[in-house]
Chains A and B, each alone.
Chain A
């Protein structure tokens, strides 16, 4: 059974700092890994998707890497802003039925 863990569970940083969120998964037989953002009481917004054959994806200030063999992914946020404050979830797609397994999330707060 696939299990996804995210570290740290919570993080508070001052504005402007670069930061790294970590995601690990137990079964390396994944199709892809997706990073989401969730604002309080809201749904999920897809940030980046990395296919199993890729090593990284970039979108603006966000960069996600994938090391499938070691079961790890990182989300790098450059020059953090207060608007980045949210919960960040990683999810891996495994099996043939498009099943996403979600991590426990990292709650990020960027302070002024």
Chain B
């Protein structure tokens, strides 16, 4: 398994600003993922963060809006840029451990944009 922490746990931000969310894992992992959970909805994959290369974004998500960094095998950041109220969501990171195909999730960051 893996222990995953996220910072901040929650934030309230003003429209037009940006927020960077950090994800830290207690072991080295190859694949890290960022998900968004809009109010009352299920989880949607934003992108896959690969160490040493650019993130791979899903349809509907672009790098200019959600830039991602992956400087090493235990850490990643997701920035939500030029925020609008529609960005109010829970943002979760997850990791795949070993070759089990099991994904473990962080506690999430609850973002509210006013």
Residues of chain A touching chain B, judged by Cβ–Cβ distance below 8 Å, are 31-32, 34, 36, 41-46, 49, 51, 89, 91, 93, 97-105
Contacts and interface: CB of A to CB of B under 8 A. Distances in A.
Contacts of A97: 48, 56
B67 interface: no
A8 B92 CA distance: 25
A47 to B, nearest CB: 11
A103 B47 CA distance: 18
A95 to B, nearest CB: 11
Contacts, number: 56
Given A32-B101, A34-B103, A43 B108 contact: yes
A43 B105 contact: yes
A46 B101 contact: no
B92 A49 contact: no
21 contacts: A32-B101, A36-B105, A41-B90, A41-B110, A43-B4, A43-B92, A43-B107, A44-B92, A89-B42, A97-B48, A97-B56, A98-B31, A98-B33, A98-B96, A99-B45, A100-B33, A100-B43, A101-B45, A102-B44, A103-B42, A104-B41
B105 A44 contact: yes
B104 A98 contact: no
Interface in B84-112: 90, 92, 94, 96, 100-108, 110
